[in-house]
Amino acid sequence: MNRLLQGEVGSGKTIVALRAMLQVVDAGGQAALLAPTEVLAAQHFDSIRRTLGSLSRDPMLSADGLLGSLAEGAVQVTLLTGSMPTGARKRAMLDAASGAAGIVIGTHALLSDNVAFCDLGLIVVDEQHRFGVEQRDVLRSKANKPPHLLVMTATPIPRTVAMTVFGDLETSVLDELPAGRAPISTHVVGLAENPGWADRIWSRSREEIDAGHQVYVVCPRIGTDDDGDFSPGEAEPSAADLAGDGAARELASVTAVVEHLQQVPALAGVPLGRCTAVWTPR
C-alpha cells in the first residue's frame, strides 16, 4: 500500500490508521506512526491507548498484571521522542528492536540511526507535508522488506497532489465529519474599512469565554526581536494601530496584542496567556 488519506481535522483519520496498524500487528508485524511534533506524538499516544482500552498492554506491567478480559491479545503501544529521559528512551528503543512494541509512535527520533525495528510492516505519517521524501525513505529503510505506507493530511501540498495524479500514490478521502460534530463557521472581518467592528470581535470572544470555551488569537510575529516584516528599529504597533491601520494590524506581534487586550473592557477579568514558538521550514 502507498496511500494518501485526506480528511478534515476530526474526520477520523487516526481511527482509520489505527485499524490498519492493528491489522499489521495481528499479522505479526510492527507499525510506526511518525508525527511532526512531540505534542502531536504524545496526543496520538494517549488517544490510541484510550481507544484500545484493555487491548493496550502496559510495558511496565508483568504478564500477570495485564488488565481486561482481552489482555491476552493486547498490543504494546510505545512512545519515542527526543526529549524523553535517557532511560525511557532506551527502553522504548529496545521494545521497538525486540518486537515487544507492536505500535511505535514518535517524532523525528524514529529516524535516528540508533532506532531499529524487528519487523516493520506499516509506516503511518501524520501531517505528511511536514516531512520530506528523504525522511520518509529513512524510516522505510528500517524495514526488512518494503513496508506499507499510509500518509495522512488535511492540507495536501502541490507536490502531494502531483504524486496522486502522476505517481503511484493512491488516494482515500474522508469527506464527512463524525455524527453530532458542530459545523465550523468562518468569518472575515474587514477592520480596515470598519475599524469599529474590532469591539464586536472581543465582545463575541467574551461570550464564548463566559460559556466555558477558549479563544485563540494568532499573530504573525512574537515580539520585537523576531524576524518579521518590520524594518530594523521600527516600533511595534500600538493599540491604536491594532484598532485602525490595516498594514500595522496584519503585522501585529504577540507582545503587542496581549498588551492591547489587557486594556479591552469586554475582556476585563479574563486571564490572558502567551504561547510562542519559532517554526523553521524544512
What letter does residue 232 receive in the DSSP assignment? Answer: T
Residue 63: its pLDDT value, please? 43
Determine the pLDDT at residue 65. 38
pTM of the predicted structure, to 2 decimals: 0.65
pLDDT of res. 182: 74
| Residue ranges of the chain that CATH labels 3.40.50.300 | 2-174
- Three-class DSSP category at 85: coil
pLDDT, tens digit, 9 for 90 and up, residues 35-54: 988 888 999 999 999 999 88
**What percent of the chain clears pLDDT 70, i.e. is strictly above it?**
74
Across residues 145-154, what is the average pLDDT? 90
- Choice between 164 and 53, residue whose per-residue pLDDT is larger: 53
Residue 150 near residue 174 (C-beta atoms within 8 A): no
DSSP character for 81?
A: -
Average of per-residue pLDDT values in the chain: 79
Q: In what order do the strands lie in the sheet with 2-7?
A: 56-57, 75-80, 103-106, 30-34, 120-126, 148-153, 2-7, 170-174
d(CA 141, CA 128) in angstroms, rounded, equals 17
pLDDT of 94 reads: 95
* pLDDT mean over 91-95: 94
Q: Which residue has the higher pLDDT, 89 or 275?
A: 89
At the top level of CATH, which class does the domain 2-174 belong to? alpha beta
Closest alpha carbon to 7 in 181, 135, 166, 140: 181
Residue 160: pLDDT band (50, 70, 90) is: low
Q: What is the pLDDT of residue 277?
A: 53
Tens of pLDDT, residue by residue over 217-261, are: 988 777 765 444 433 334 444 444 444 444 444 567 888 888 889
Residue 192 has a pLDDT of 83
Q: What is the pLDDT of residue 99?
A: 93
- Do 212 and 205 meet the contact criterion of CB atoms below 8 Å apart? no
| pLDDT for res 282 | 35
Is residue 189 scored above 90 in pLDDT? no
Going by pLDDT thresholds of 50, 70 and 90, the confidence category of residue 67 is very low
- For residues 30 and 97, the answer to whether their CB atoms sit within 8 Å is no
What SS3 class is residue 263?
coil
**Which residues have C-beta within 8 Å of that of residue 183, sequence separation ≥ 6?**
none
In DSSP notation, 143-187 reads SSSPPEEEEEESS--HHHHHHHHHSS-EEEEE-SPPTTPPPP---
Over residues 171-194, the mean pLDDT reads 82
252 near 222, Cβ under 8 Å?
A: no
